[in-house]
Structure 1
Amino acid sequence: MTSPSTENTGDLDPEIRLLAAIAYGESSTSDMYEEMAALASIMLRQSKARGYSSLASFTSQEKSFSFVVADGNQRYKRLMRATAAQIEKSIAMTDAVRAAKNAFSGGPDYSNGAYFWDGADIKSNYANHFKVRHGIKFINPTHNIYSIKESTKLIIKSRTTKTKVDGKITKKTEEVYRYDHVYESTAAYGGTIFWKNSDDYMKLTGAKAYR
């Protein structure tokens, strides 16, 4: 993926504007720079991991990863339509642009290597939430900004072998591996919790970090 220009002159590069608008739209109204920067880093990391040549192609092909691009999110639309002067007058939108530029320039990753995030819906839809059902663990108590319970779902992979001795077949079942959660928190800012797949889950199952 080619890094767009980060010069602060004239109109924004389309890729920077798109990433800034996504970070602004996905973040909470607390307008924390760290939250927007973490979101921007994840979007760019996901785009690269999935093999896209641009953020625009990623968001057009995988619309469900960031719903704000297509669901009418007002913050997203506001920044996508904003003039340079309007962005300059808004501390929050200026920080969103700064967050996008930070991601493209390889600056500090406030998400701490995350590939996923959740907002308030992880609490309001706790019982049916995808990550909760697959197991979540908070690596640091400060990441649990919604005061929800950790969840576990024990998965045990077994292997059965057959042996034949004197015409008699016997079966032996052995455990291959087990894990009880998929997602581990990496950070939390504003209204967003950031996650990655657990190392054990990936090592044992061969799962990809970005899936």
Structure 2
Amino acid sequence: MGTVTEEARLLVAVAYGEGSAKDVFEEMAAIASVMVRQAKARGYTLLQFLQSKEAQEFSFVLVDGNARFDRLMNATEEAIGKDSGMKTAVKAARHAIGGLTDYSNGAWFWDGADLKSNYARHQKVNRGIRFSSDNHNIYSVKEKSIPEVVKYWEVKDKNGVKRNASERGRYTCTYESTTALGGTVFWRYTREYLQATGGKEHR
């Protein structure tokens, strides 16, 4: 692995821990790219972000005792050099830090096998998901729409009370896929959701 900073090892461990046991380079590089992009969008250095509670909200391996994450964090550089999966994770993290090809296709989020195993209670599913390509539906789950949500611009009346004005937008789906690699589906917010809510792409 060579001399490595704390932030690089953390990113390698996230890519390895979040990635599937297939140890697919593009999958781990895509996960690492999302983390790098999230850090920049939130105004953090990569290390600050990886150590933040915000990062823990969508990369659970940082806090849930994930065996692959822990294995890499505790591995010596010699052990990493002898393990093909860990070496691939190192390559993937360096790829993302270097700003090379973004295999996630601009994603801000991802999901693994829990998309299927926890489908009924899955946070993204219950906010509406759609696949931009059938090839992204690697777990063969159903797309889900929610009852149409209509958002309005707000203005203050003469008494300073906020009132709805013209319509801002409407949506029936919050997330759309950008790609699927290995065992991971990558997501971004739908254009309709962002227009209606005025939300940030990374939040």
Q: Which band: TM-score by shorter chain? A: 0.7 to 0.9
Deviation at 1:135, TM superposition (A): 0.8
How many residue pairs were aligned?
Answer: 191
Which stretch of the first structure deviates more once superposed, 27-36 or 75-84?
Answer: 75-84
- 3-state SS of 1:11 partner: coil
The CA distance in 2 between the partners of 1:96 and 1:112, in whole Å, is: 19
Give yes or no for contact 1:113–1:186 (8 Å, CA) kept in 2.
Answer: yes
Residue number in structure 2 paired with 1:102? 95
Q: How far apart are the structure 2 equivalents of 1:46 and 1:66?
A: 11
Question: Is the Cα contact below 8 Å between 2:151 and 2:196 reproduced in 1?
Answer: no
Say which of 128, 137, 154 aligns to 1:135: 128
- Tell me if 1:38 matches 2:30: yes
Segment drifting more, 102-111 vs 58-67: 58-67
Determine if contact 1:59/1:66 at 8 Å carries over to the other structure: no
Q: Quick one: which amino acid aligns to residue 151 of structure 2?
A: K
Given that 1:20 and 1:99 are in contact with CA atoms closer than 8 Å, whether structure 2 keeps it comes out as yes
2:149 to 155, 158, 173: 155
Name the stretch that deviates more: 75-84 or 188-197.
75-84
RMSD between aligned residues = 2.0
CA contact (8 A) 2:10 2:50 kept: no
**Structure 1 contact 22–40 (Cα < 8 Å) conserved:** yes
Q: CA deviation at 1:174?
A: 7.1
Contact 1:136–1:151 (8 Å) recurs in 2? yes
Single out whichever of 79-88 and 93-102 deviates more from structure 2.
Answer: 79-88
Give the structure-1-normalised TM-score.
0.84
Cα distance, 1:13 vs structure 2: 2.2
Q: List alignment gaps of at least 5 residues for structure 1.
A: 1-7, 161-172
Structure 1 stretches of 4+ moved >4 Å: 173-176
Q: 1:158 to 1:103 in 2, by over 3 A?
A: closer
| Structure 1: distance between partners of 2:15 and 2:173 | 28
Q: What CA distance in whole angstroms lies between the structure 2 residues aligned with 1:178 and 1:123?
A: 27
Q: Alpha-carbon deviation of 1:175? A: 5.2
Matches within 5 A, 1:43-62: 43-55=35-47, 57-62=48-53
Partners of 2:153 and 2:180 in 1: CA distance: 39
In structure 2, the residue matched to 1:169 is: none
Partner of 1:187: 179
- Answer whether contact 1:138 1:185 (CA < 8 A) is retained: yes
Larger Rg: 1
Check whether the contact 1:156–1:178 (CA below 8 A) recurs between aligned residues.
yes
TM-score normalised by structure 2 residue count = 0.87
Q: Which moved more, 1:175-184 or 1:104-113?
A: 175-184
Offset of residue 158 of structure 1: 5.5
Asked if the contact 2:138–2:183 (Cα under 8 Å) also holds between the matched residues in 1, the reply is: yes
Alpha-carbon separation, structure 2, partners of 1:76 and 1:210: 24
After superposing the two structures, state which structure 1 stretch, 122-131 or 183-192, moved more.
Answer: 122-131
CA distance in structure 2 between the partners assigned to 1:68 and 1:22 by the alignment: 7
